Amino acid sequence: MSRTSVIALLVFVAILGYFFTFGVESTRKLQAGVYQLLSPFLTTGSGLEKQITSVRSGLKSLEDLERDNTALRVENRSLRATNQALRDVEHEVNRLRHALNYRERSVFKLVPAEIVTRDASNWFRTVTINRGKDDGIEGDMPVVTDEGLVGKTTTVSANISLVLLVSDENCRVAANVEGTREQGIVSGERVVGSITPLLDLNFLSKQADLKPGQKIFTSGVGGVFPAQLLIGQVRTFALRALDGQARLAPAVDLAHLEDVFVVTGRK
């Protein structure tokens, strides 16, 4: 081995050692920095991808009409999401007023965002969105659509953020079952063999006996996800040695997401 190679190897080991010492914050900062650096290319790529898809589907429309249509669709979805959130809050307020006389909860503040890219890895279920710190987004904020829960933000840079989807094994959501007192933890699967993943609802009691079609909502426990967001519907229920486990179909079509809303707080 030549002297240059030995020096290169030593430098390589030093760099590797430096990266291995990275903690959570350093990792987040570096990741946010790289995403920020690449965000113009990712956004352009996303636009190109949409254009190619549009051409491929053979649909030609006037540019102005398309723009208006897109704006109206976003507005419509925003209103539907707000409406859904209002209904959720109304339901909860009524319940609390009648039962416990808790203080009223206000509606969510929603920041609309577009999906820029989808996961580029076999093992992680993530998407990036075109909103970041500049729009008031922070880490661990819930991401929803009018249909239900999408996931939560993880790494956030100035104008692009990483969203961990509810279908990822690492995204754990405390949940309860519609019409029962059953509670459990929803998480995704480690390996997904199809474009439409299912979710697992673990740690149910053995007496749960869930029926297909029953709705699963966030319970609000844990502090990240507010209560009463729809997660999915029960497909199957099975008993295990110590608990019951249900398989859920996600409420949101995660494979075809285009517009989402980040819950930045309550109004």
Partner 1 sequence: MILFVLLLFFVVVAQIGEFFLPTLDWMYNAHIYIVPVIVFYGAMALPFPLVLALATFAGLLLDALTVQVVSGKVEISFGWSILLYAVLAAIMHGLRPLFVRGRWEVHCVLTGICTSAMLLAQYLMITFRRGSIFFTREVWWQIGGPGIIALLMAPLVFWILHSIARVTRSPYLPEAENYR
**Residue 129: how many CB atoms within 10 A of its CB?**
28
Taking each continuous run of H as one helix and of E as one strand, the counts in the chain are 3, 12
Check binding of 195 to partner 1 (CB under 8 A): yes
By CB under 8 A, residue 239 contacts partner 1? no
With vertex at residue 149, the alpha carbon angle to CA 233 and CA 33, rounded to the nearest 5 degrees, is: 145
At 169, is the secondary structure helix, strand, or coil? coil
Under a CB-based contact definition with an 8 Å cutoff, are residues 254 and 165 in contact? Answer: yes
Q: Nearer to partner 1 by C-beta: 7 or 239?
A: 7
Q: Which is nearer to partner 1, 41 or 63 (CB)?
A: 41
Tokens standing for residue 203: 């740690």
Q: What are phi and psi of 29, to 5 degrees?
A: -65, -45
SS3 28: helix
Q: How far apart are CA 39 and CA 37, in angstroms?
A: 6
CB of 219 to partner 1, least distance (A): 17
For the bound state, the minimum distance from the C-beta of residue 96 to partner 1, rounded and expressed in Å, comes to: 28
167 lines the binding site for partner 1 (CB under 8 A): no
Tokens (6 digits) for 87: 């209904």
Enumerate residues 97-126 that contact partner 1 by CB under 8 A.
117-124, 126
| Region from 59-67, 167-175, 213-221, 240-248 binding partner 1, contact rule CB under 8 A | 167-175
Cβ of residue 117: shortest distance to partner 1, in angstroms? 4
The Cα–Cα gap between 119 and 73 comes to 25
Q: What is the DSSP letter of 121?
A: S
Map the footprint of partner 1 across residues 2-41, applying CB under 8 A.
2, 4-5, 7-9, 11-12, 15-16, 19-20, 22-24, 26-28, 30-31, 33-35, 38, 41
Cβ neighbours, 10 Å, residue 234 = 20
C-alpha span between 132 and 141 (Å, rounded): 11
Is 191 a binder of partner 1 (CB under 8 A)? yes
With CB under 8 A as the contact rule, the residue among 85, 89, 192, 231 that binds partner 1 is 192
For residue 57, state whether it binds partner 1 (rule: CB under 8 A): no
Under the criterion CB under 8 A, does residue 241 sit at the interface with partner 1? no
Q: Is 170 in the site for partner 1 (CB under 8 A)?
A: yes
Interface ranges with partner 1 (CB under 8 A): 1-2, 4-5, 7-9, 11-12, 15-16, 19-20, 22-24, 26-28, 30-31, 33-35, 38, 41-42, 45-46, 48-49, 117-124, 126, 154-155, 164, 168-171, 190-195
